[in-house]
């Protein structure tokens, strides 16, 4: 070994006690494109288009922050 710490995989969720809840799915009928979820995503996996979208699914840690902060409950984790 080279002395480097072993890789631990994905970064930990910033919401304590929540892991791997599922990828966010945005309901376009409820999303108002306010951008709160995009701003709060700890891994910058979301972008804002006509609605919020999971633009970088490989970066998503499935932490649930986006769903928690959405004022319209437009994001569900599946």
Instruction: Tell me the mean pLDDT in the region 56-74.
Output: 96
Are the beta carbons of 60 and 22 closer than 8 angstroms? no
CATH architecture of 26-77: 2-Layer Sandwich (3.30)
Instruction: Tell me the mean pLDDT in the region 21-31.
Output: 94
Domain limits of the chain? Answer: 26-77
Contacts of 34 (CB under 8 A, 6+ apart): 71, 72
pLDDT digits (tens, 9 = 90+) for 36-60: 999 999 999 999 999 999 999 999 9
Q: State pTM to two decimals.
A: 0.74
Per-residue pLDDT, 6: 37
Residue 20's pLDDT band, with cuts at 50, 70 and 90, is: low
Per-residue pLDDT, 19: 55
């Amino acid at each position: 070994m080279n002395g480097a710490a072993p890789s631990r995989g994905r970064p930990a969720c910033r919401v304590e006690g929540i892991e791997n809840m599922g990828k966010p799915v945005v309901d376009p009928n409820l999303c108002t494109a306010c951008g709160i979820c995009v701003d709060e995503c700890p891994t910058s996996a979301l972008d804002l288009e006509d609605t919020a979208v999971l633009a970088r699914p490989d970066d998503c840690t499935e932490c649930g922050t986006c769903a928690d902060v959405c004022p319209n409950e437009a994001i569900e984790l599946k």
